[in-house]
A and B are shown apart, each in its own frame.
Chain A
Amino acid sequence: MEMWLRTWAILWKDILIEVRTKGTFNAMAFFAALILFIFSFAIGPDFELLRRIAAGLLWVGITFTGLLALARTYHSEELAGGLEALLLYPGEPRAIFLGKLIGNLMVLLVVEAILYPVAAVLFHMQLAGHVLPVAGIAVLGTFGFSVIGTFYSALTLHLRAREVMLPLLVLPLLVPVILGAVSATAALIDPSARGGVGGWVRLLIAFDVLYFVVCTWTFPVLLER
């Protein structure tokens, strides 16, 4: 019971701070949309091509924006003097991980709620009729992303060159997530794409469960000082 109070405490605190720090979230959302625009320019006006690779472009955009969001996971603690601000209180250390994880997940999902429609418009994606399944896949993929990212952002917090280290450590691990999310989404909305959605969804779920367990279990090791 006390663990959930702690998880809620961190979530509540981070939401409050985020809401009061106007501008950060907006900047992130604009950044994400901007990436999608740049893709359009980089790839050129072949709209048929853009439509076919839309899911991939979307997830690259999500990945880059996600890395930005993840880097700020412990930002409020850093301003307050360090992770010790959280360690001062007795209780289950994994609650910190869970609280931060849910926070990151929420931020990313909100950004995606904006990005998907933008991508649908820019890349002529046919999302109509598939909104729920596509959203479901987005949630599964984002969950895996958030687990790995929240975990490693704690590890790289005190590491030199951490702006580079976080992506370096996180991206290779995310290959299955990106593959799964993109392939499943493409299979759903693109009639010309092959491959079963079910298999990819199972992969995403397995990934999410595995890493949620591994990261939650191992998290206290990262908090030792």
Chain B
Amino acid sequence: MGQLGEASVSTGSSGAGTPALRLGGAGKRFARNWGLRDVDLEVGPGELVALTGPNGAGKTTLLKIVSALHRATTGTVEVLGCRLPAEENLVRERSTLLPPHGYVYEQLTGLENLRFARLMAGVKPTSETREQIDRALDRVGLLAAADERVGGYSSGMRKRLAIARLLLRPVELVLMDEPYASLDVAGIELVDEIVGELRAGGSTILLASHRWERAIREADRLVVMERGRITWMGSPGEWAGRPAGAGGA
């Protein structure tokens, strides 16, 4: 029961050695403050990196910059071998973001939201794509509710819909912003399963979360952020094994 479409993802032009992600001194300034400051981060292809930190730490900003939804104000950003912001579109083609709150349209049904997503991604509507959508809905347990308007969905269901949307587009780089939020135990397990499948397929994953779930425990690396900066980096095991009271470096 792998990902829909190919079992693994080609790494495209980035090749075996190119880091999936390279940030040098990246910063993002908003009207009154800096959401991100002096971030240096390199992520290799196929890595699973977990991001954690309190609210406002900059996790979401970081993910949005990497997925080319935001432009960095300072520093260099290179994603999958592409320079941002010059090659934004290329990056958006080869990566995807799972946002904390769906970006789904309430007046449309779950099915229509996914059909919209496919059309927007430039995929012609055929019977085959319709089947793919059904399979994605089934995987996340929304097949029964597919023809109901999203306005009537619970927040957990909306999250599942966003996950279904993610499954429909196999990409090299997957960014997840609080994937566990709003989900029940079954949903959390589903996310962990999917993360595992994506890894097996060769995708690089950057996952931001407050919660300490399996995917975080099994991550290759843990990055801790606070107030826009990276304060600690290491393996999840090290972080869990820290003596009580020790903060970020």
Q: Could you tell me which A residues sit within 8 Å of B by CB distance?
A: 1-2, 5-6, 8-10, 12-13, 16-17, 20-21, 76, 79-82, 84-92, 224-225
Contacts and interface: CB of A to CB of B under 8 A. Distances in A.
Interface of B: 64, 69-71, 85, 89, 92-93, 96-97, 99, 101-108, 112, 116-117, 119-124, 149
Given A16-B112, A89-B92, A9 B120 contact: yes
A14 B105 CA distance: 10
B117 A89 contact: yes
A122 to B, nearest CB: 35
Contacts of A85: 103-105
A13 B116 contact: yes
Summarize A's interface: helix, strand, loop or mixed. Answer: helix
B106 A5 contact: no
A149 B77 CA distance: 34
Contacts of B93: 90
Given A81-B103, A82-B103, A88-B99, 18 more contacts: A5-B119, A5-B120, A12-B116, A12-B119, A16-B112, A17-B108, A79-B105, A80-B105, A80-B106, A84-B69, A85-B104, A87-B69, A87-B92, A88-B69, A88-B97, A90-B93, A91-B89, A224-B71
Nearest to B165: A88
A87 B121 CA distance: 10
Contacts of A84: 64, 69, 99, 103
A17 B105 contact: yes
A84 B97 CA distance: 10
A90 B89 contact: yes
Contacts of B112: 13, 16
Contacts of B121: 89-91
25 contacts: A5-B119, A5-B122, A5-B123, A6-B122, A8-B119, A13-B116, A16-B108, A79-B106, A80-B103, A80-B105, A80-B106, A81-B99, A81-B103, A84-B103, A86-B120, A87-B69, A88-B92, A88-B97, A88-B120, A89-B121, A90-B93, A91-B92, A91-B121, A225-B69, A225-B71
A21 B99 CA distance: 26
Interface SS, B side: loop
Contacts of B101: 81
A83 to B, nearest CB: 9
B104 A80 contact: yes
B27 to A, nearest CB: 15
Nearest to A99: B120
A25 B121 CA distance: 29
- Chain B CB count within 10 A is highest, among A16, A89, A91, A224, for A89
Contact of A6 (B89, B92, B103, B120): B120
A100 to B, nearest CB: 13
A85 to B, nearest CB: 4
A203 B93 CA distance: 41
A12 to B, nearest CB: 7
Contacts of A2: 122
Contacts of A17: 105, 107-108
A88 B71 CA distance: 14
Contacts of B70: 225
9 smallest CB-CB distances across A and B, nearest first, come from A2-B122, A9-B119, A90-B92, A89-B120, A90-B93, A85-B103, A17-B107, A81-B103, A20-B107
Contacts of B99: 81, 84, 88
Contacts of A86: 120
A92 B90 CA distance: 11
A4 to B, nearest CB: 10
Nearest to A89: B120
Nearest to A76: B105
Nearest to B104: A80
A20 B119 CA distance: 20
